[in-house]
Amino acid sequence: MPGVTHRLRLAGTTLITALAVLAAILTASPAQAAAAKYVALGDSYSSGVGTREYLADDGCYRSRHAYPYKAAAEIGATLSFQACSGAKTADVLSKQLGTLAADTDLVTISIGGNDAGFSSVITQCAKPWPYTCTKEINAANAFIRDTLPGRLNNVYDQIRAKAPNARVVVVGYPRLFNGETCNALARISAGEQSSLNATADLLATTTKARASAHGFSFVDPRDPFEGHQVCDDSEWVNGLSNPIVESYHPNRNGQTAYTGLVKPLLV
C-alpha cells in the first residue's frame, strides 16, 4: 500500500519537524533585555575625586572607583559619565546634559556644594589660629537658604525636560567631621567642625526638599558615614591629603558605601 506508506512517512516527518521546533523554543535562551541607559551628572563627589586613580587626565577626575561607574557595572547599565570635579549648577546646565534623552532610564546627580563654596570655606577653616571661618560659614549658610533652591530647581527642571522618562536620584553629601583634630596642618577646631557639619545638614535638607518637589529620590549619606568621618579609625572621607585635590572627598571605601546607597534606587 504505497499511498498509505507515503502518508505515514509524511506524517512522521511532520511530527519530527514539529518536535524539533518545540525543542528549539524550549531550549532557546530568553531574549536579553536592553541595557538601561544611565547618565551620571554632578561634581567631584560623583566623579570620584578622592579615590586616587582616574580614567583620563582631563581635569574632571572621573574614576572607575566612583559610585556611578561601580553601580553601572553592577546593574549592567550603559553609563554616560558626565560628572566633573569642580562643577557647579551652571556647569551641569551648560556642559553635562547633552546625553540626556527620552530613552534615558536612569540619572544620578550630586550638585550644590561648589555653588555654596564649601571647599573654600573648609580651606579657610583649616588655616591656623588666629584665622577663623565664621564669616565664610555664615555666608555659605545664607547662600544655601536663599539662592541655592532656585539654582537646584533650574537644574532639576532641565533634567526632567530632557529625560522625561528617567528615574532620577539626587545624591547628597556627608558630614565630614567627628570633632577630633588629627592633622597638624589642618587644625579645624571642634567648634568649626560642628559648624561645618551644621552647614552640611542645611545643604542636605535644602537639596532633599528640592529633589522631593520634583519627584526625585534623595540619597542621604549623613547617618551611614557616621563613624567613618575624617579622623575616625575607618575613614570613608580623606582628611588633608597630598595632592590637596584629594582632601575632604570620599575615598574608595566611601565610594563603595555610596554605591550601596545609590544602587537600590536604580533597579
| pLDDT tens track for 40-55 | 999 999 999 999 999 9
Q: Residues 163-184: what's their mean pLDDT?
A: 95
Q: Is 81 helix (H, G, I), strand (E, B) or coil?
A: strand
Percent of the chain having pLDDT more than 90?
84
Instruction: Give the length of the chain.
Output: 267
From the list 140, 146, 173, 170, the residue with the least C-alpha distance to 156 is 170
pLDDT tens readout for residues 102-156: 999 999 999 999 999 999 999 999 998 889 999 999 999 999 999 999 999 999 9
Q: Measured between alpha carbons, how far is residue 75 from residues 28, 36, 65, 185, 241 in Å?
A: 24, 9, 15, 41, 32
Per residue in 94-113, pLDDT tens? 999 999 999 999 999 999 99
pTM of the complete model:
0.87
For position 4, what pLDDT does the model report?
42
Lowest-confidence range among 81-90, 125-134, 154-163, 188-197? 125-134
Find the catalytic residue in 46, 80, 195, 249: 249
Spatial distance between the Cα atoms of 99 and 107, rounded to a whole number of angstroms:
11
pLDDT of residue 200: 98
Hey, where are the domains in the chain?
1-31, 36-265
Mean pLDDT over 239-246 rounds to: 95
Q: Which of 6, 29, 44, 234 is the catalytic position?
A: 44
Which residues touch 248 (CB under 8 Å, ≥6 apart)? 119, 122, 176, 230, 237, 238, 239, 240
6 in active site: no
* DSSP codes joined into one string, 219-252: E--HHHHTTSSBTSSS-SB--S-SSGGGTTSB-H
State the pLDDT at residue 183: 81
Alpha helices in the chain (DSSP H): 2-27, 44-47, 67-75, 89-91, 118-125, 134-146, 148-162, 190-213, 222-225, 252-262
Give the SS3 label for residue 43. Answer: coil
Q: Is the bond leading into 174 cis (omega within 30 degrees of zero)?
A: no
Q: What is the CA radius of gyration of the chain?
A: 26
Confidence of residue 187 (pLDDT cuts 50, 70, 90): confident
Does the annotation count 44 as an active-site position? yes
| Helix, coil or strand: residue 259 | helix
pLDDT mean over 68-97:
98
The residue-averaged pLDDT of 160-165 equals 98
CATH class of 36-265: alpha beta
The owner of cell 579657610 is: 124
